Amino acid sequence: MKFLHLADLHLGKRVNGFDLLEDQRYILEQILALCDSNKVDAVVLAGDIYDAPVPPAAACTLLDWFLTQLSARRIAVLAVSGNHDSAERLDYAAGLLANQNVYIAGQFRGAPRQIVLSDRFGPVEFTLLPFVRTATVRHYMPEADLPDYDSAVAAALSACAPSAERRVLVAHQMVVAGLCPPQLSGSETAPLTIGTVDSVDAAHFAKFSYTALGHIHRAQRVGSDTVRYAGAPLCYHLDECGMEKSATLVRLGRRGVDDIETLPLHPRRAMRHIVGPLAKLVEHPDDTSDYIWATLTDPTPQPDAMAVLRAAYP
């Protein structure tokens, strides 16, 4: 079985007033092309599907289009909510969508949702853990001793029994390996601080063949090759300028993960950070259709700096 691990689509996101919907549609089309060329069986969406709990209508239309395209290709979808999503709204029609192999876990109701798909080697279990806070887990497990976030996520995971040898976890949480924090990129707007208190130890995922994470916008492994953040598919912040974005292709074999490959994504417009005195920056502008973050180093304030920059970089 081959699946594509994606996360943090943030559909409907605006960056400094710029609507990125066309860029998002462009990157989703590229992802569909990757699904076709790699003949993937499933797409995993590890949370922050929308940028806001009440997304713009056009963002809902875009997700509808994407899911319909995947369904037409008979590609299964396994999705969880992130901290930006409304868990309840994401669950809309989830029961009906399951009939089309689109599995969405928006709300946590005491246990992760388990979906079993299969390939020629047998069953593959997908454990869908929506974004949870400690208080949410405590609500469903009043008897359990859950002093912190780490123990709450561990308890949530232990609420379901394994149903297959090959297991994939889909989650949207702040995960660390030992004392090594993940590399943030500025646009996560984390409600959870990094450190030993408000993060989850990757060791809890040791029993899974692969853990597909969302929340951190920079693609990276966490402690082991099979615990990964896919990263956001587009740059969403100054800190991500020039960062290469990717989708993660995972091949499962008879016993578990055979191969992991990061497939580069190429945006419709790059996001670049330029630094210098205003006159220098607009002297010979290149790639003028890119999204530009400009830092002016002039010793004095420049009149109409934004208008001058916009004339050079629309």
Which residues sit at the interface with Mn ion, rule CB under 5 A?
8, 48
Least Cβ distance, residue 46 to Mn ion (angstroms): 9
- Residue 75: phi and psi, rounded to 5, are -100, 125
Number of other CB atoms surrounding residue 66 within 10 Å: 22
Distances (CA, A) of 236 to 9, 33, 62, 101, 231: 10, 22, 18, 30, 11
Smallest gap from Cβ 84 to Mn ion, in A, equals 6
**Distance of closest approach, residue 125 Cβ to Mn ion, in angstroms:** 25
**C-beta of 59: minimal distance to Mn ion in Å?**
14
Shortest distance in whole angstroms from residue 161 CB to Mn ion: 30
What tokens appear for 185 in the block?
Answer: 């990129």
C-alpha 229/C-alpha 31 separation (Å) is 17
Cβ proximity to Mn ion, 41 vs 48, nearer residue = 48
Closest CA to 8 of 305, 234, 167, 185: 234
Give min distance, CB of 72 to Mn ion, in A.
27
Q: Tell me whether residue 231 or residue 267 sits nearer to Mn ion (CB atom).
A: 231
Q: Count the Cβ atoms, other than its own, within 10 Å of residue 264.
A: 10
Amino acid at 282: V
Please say which residue, 50 or 313, places its beta carbon nearer to Mn ion: 50
Q: Smaller CB distance to Mn ion: residue 83 or 209?
A: 83
Q: How far apart are CA 115 and CA 170, in angstroms?
A: 11
Q: Which residue has the tokens 């006159």?
A: 279
* Position of minimal CB gap to Mn ion: 48
Nearest to Mn ion of 8, 239 (CB atom): 8
Q: Is 235 left (phi over 0), alpha (psi -120 to 50) or beta?
A: beta
| Dihedral (Cα; 13, 176, 131, 139), 10-degree rounding | -150
- By C-alpha distance, which of 171, 182, 184, 203 is closest to 7? 171
In the bound state with Mn ion, the residue whose beta carbon lies nearer, of 125 and 188, is 188
CB nearer to Mn ion: pick between 146 and 216: 216
- The least CB distance from residue 288 to Mn ion, in Å, is 29
